[in-house]
């Protein structure tokens, strides 16, 4: 089982960062208001960033580092990753 760090853009334009073992399941949970309290009234959410981690501990550390970034830095990170996948 692998761990992932992900970032979603909420319907109000805000960003939410979290960790999971299954990104598609977690996005569905957010969009059906069963996810994090922060996203419950900000659906739908859209995945804007994902990153694989080697362990839960590594995922938590990376999540913390991403949450410390400014909004501009988070958006740049998301733009960089998704443009590389296309």
**Could you tell me if 17 and 51 are in contact, meaning their C-beta atoms sit under 8 angstroms apart?**
no
Q: What angle do CA 28, 80, 39 make, to 5 degrees?
A: 30
Give all domains of the chain, ordered by start, each with its CATH number: 3-85 (3.40.1440.10)
pTM to 2 decimal places: 0.88
Q: How confident is the model at residue 32 (pLDDT cuts 50, 70, 90)?
A: very high
**Could you tell me if 4 and 23 are in contact, meaning their C-beta atoms sit under 8 angstroms apart?**
yes
Span 28-50, average pLDDT = 92
Q: Where does 2-86 have alpha helices with state H? A: 23-31, 56-67, 71-85
Span 22-44, average pLDDT = 93
Span 7-29, average pLDDT = 95
**Could you tell me if 8 and 16 are in contact, meaning their C-beta atoms sit under 8 angstroms apart?**
yes
Q: How confident is the model at residue 81 (pLDDT cuts 50, 70, 90)?
A: low
């Amino acid at each position: 089982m692998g761990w992932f760090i992900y970032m979603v853009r909420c319907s109000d334009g805000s960003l939410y960062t979290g960790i999971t073992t299954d990104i598609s399941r977690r996005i569905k949970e957010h969009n059906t208001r069963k996810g994090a309290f922060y996203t419950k009234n900000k659906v739908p959410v859209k995945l804007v960033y994902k990153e694989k981690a080697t362990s839960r501990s590594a995922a938590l550390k990376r999540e913390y580092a991403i949450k410390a970034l400014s909004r501009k830095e988070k958006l740049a990170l998301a733009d960089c990753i998704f443009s590389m996948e296309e």
